[in-house]
């Protein structure tokens, strides 16, 4: 059991004891699990909420809640400090945390383990129709939301811009979360914004109901440059019809999202969470269609850091072959 579970359990045990003494009836204490997600305008939060419900309904003795956070970068710190029990993060951010590179230069977090890869984010670059922005190059000199502080979106944005010769000195960057980015676009306070998120996402859906939006397509050369900069990028397709006004398929950059825990989590708990999630995956898919990608095969092909031994136990039970790179 992680330290954070233990710490929160003490308070709940005390409450349960008090209730039992007052009511004259036995009370069953629940171990509390915190799931670090992202902002409410993205996909991490509903996916985290769906996972919490699976834990609440299918793992005896545990209850879980999804917590709003700054997303990937912040989430890795929460796991390392024991302030969250599970956390979702973009694969490149998770890999940097584990190896002590990039945003985590000099602060390696070797305790990071994975339970699964959940789905692939799609990097959306959104502007309003009539803004004059039709390409990545058009962002020079513009007001651009690069993502919330501590988010995987900002990690992705920085990699895409740097790979294509655009520095923050050449844009007027603003660090806004998804809802703030949508509001700022709608109000004319920024010219474009980056989202690294599962599609469709509520903040862009809502924006597209009141404004005519465009999703900026990268050229093949720009896509290739970004993938050379960051090995976790891959080409994927944002389907036409995902948002009002986006009628044609658009090739975008994709990045897997990883469900992480600490190596200190008990093997039994890691096994129970992994098993409950996959055996009740229809419940997660009912929360958000991005969970259709949550499969054993996707996990074994897309996960950038070692699996927790408890998760490995589940995957071996269902007959999966674990790559050596995913063994701690």
Q: Which two tokens stand for residue 216?
A: 């900026």
Output phi, psi for 223, to 5 deg: -60, -45
What is d(CA 66, CA 61) in angstroms, rounded to the nearest whole number?
17
Q: Quick: pLDDT tens for 88-108.
A: 999 999 999 999 999 999 999
Query: Does the pLDDT at position 187 exceed 90?
Result: yes
Determine which helix (DSSP H) or strand (DSSP E) holds 184, and give its type and residue range: helix 178-187
Write down all domains in the chain, each with its CATH number in brackets: 3-119+258-326 (3.40.190.10), 122-255 (3.40.190.10)
Query: Does the pLDDT at position 1 exceed 60?
Result: no
Helices within 82-118 (DSSP H only) = 91-99
What is d(CA 328, CA 325) in angstroms, rounded to the nearest whole number?
8
State mean pLDDT over 21-38.
71
Answer whether 260's CB lies under 8 Å from 114's CB. yes
* CA 92 from centroid of its chain's CA atoms: 11
The 10 Å CB-count burial string (b at 16+, else e) for 269-299 is: bbbbbbbbbbebbebbeebbebbebbbbebb
Query: Does the pLDDT at position 14 exceed 90?
Result: no
Q: Is 30 helix (H, G, I), strand (E, B) or coil?
A: coil
Q: Is 122 helix (H, G, I), strand (E, B) or coil?
A: strand
Q: Calculate the average pLDDT of the chain.
A: 91
Cα maximum dimension of the chain: 71
Query: Does the pLDDT at position 12 exceed 80?
Result: no
pLDDT interval class at 28 (50, 70, 90): low
Answer whether 91's CB lies under 8 Å from 120's CB. no
Q: Which two tokens stand for residue 165?
A: 């010769």
Lowest mean pLDDT among 16-25, 91-100, 223-232, 279-288: 16-25
Rg (CA), the chain: 20
Answer whether 37's CB lies under 8 Å from 108's CB. no
Query: Does the pLDDT at position 11 exceed 50?
Result: no
CA-wise closest residue to 90 among 66, 109, 65, 114 = 114
State mean pLDDT over 176-186.
97
CA-wise closest residue to 168 among 178, 154, 179, 185 = 154
Q: Is the pTM of this model over 0.85?
A: no
CA-wise closest residue to 193 among 245, 248, 235, 133 = 133
Query: Does the pLDDT at position 183 exceed 70?
Result: yes
CA-wise closest residue to 166 among 128, 125, 196, 130 = 125
pLDDT interval class at 20 (50, 70, 90): very low
User: What pLDDT was estimated at residue 299?
Assistant: 96
């Amino acid at each position: 059991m992680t330290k954070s579970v233990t710490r929160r359990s003490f308070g709940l045990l005390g409450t349960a004891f008090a209730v039992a003494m007052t009511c004259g009836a036995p009370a069953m204490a629940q171990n509390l699990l915190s799931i670090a997600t992202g902002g409410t305008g993205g996909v991490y939060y509903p996916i985290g909420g769906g996972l919490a419900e699976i834990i609440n309904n299918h793992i005896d003795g545990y209850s879980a809640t999804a917590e709003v956070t700054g997303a990937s970068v912040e989430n890795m710190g929460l796991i390392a400090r024991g302030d969250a029990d599970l956390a979702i993060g973009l694969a490149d951010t998770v890999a940097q945390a584990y190896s002590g590179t990039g945003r985590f230069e000099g602060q390696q977090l070797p305790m990071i383990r994975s339970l699964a890869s959940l789905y692939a984010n799609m990097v959306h670059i959104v502007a309003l129709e009539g803004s004059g922005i039709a390409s990545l190059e058009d962002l020079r000199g513009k007001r651009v939301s690069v993502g919330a502080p501590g988010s995987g979106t900002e990690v992705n944005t920085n990699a895409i811009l740097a790979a294509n010769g655009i520095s923050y000195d050449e844009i007027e960057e603003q660090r806004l979360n998804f809802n703030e980015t949508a509001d700022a676009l709608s109000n004319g306070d920024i010219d474009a914004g980056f989202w690294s998120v599962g599609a469709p996402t509520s903040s862009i859906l809502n924006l597209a109901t009141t404004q005519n939006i465009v999703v900026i397509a990268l050229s093949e050369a720009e896509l290739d440059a970004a993938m050379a900069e960051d090995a976790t990028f891959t080409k994927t397709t944002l389907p036409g019809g995902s948002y009002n006004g986006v009628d044609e398929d658009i090739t975008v950059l994709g990045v897997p999202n990883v469900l992480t825990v600490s190596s200190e989590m008990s093997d039994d708990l890691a096994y129970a969470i992994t098993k409950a999630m996959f055996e009740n995956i229809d419940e997660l898919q009912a929360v958000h269609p991005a969970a259709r990608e949550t499969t054993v095969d996707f996990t074994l092909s897309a996960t950038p850091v070692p699996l927790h031994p408890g998760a490995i136990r589940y995957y071996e039970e269902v007959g999966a072959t674990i790559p050596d790179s995913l063994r701690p």
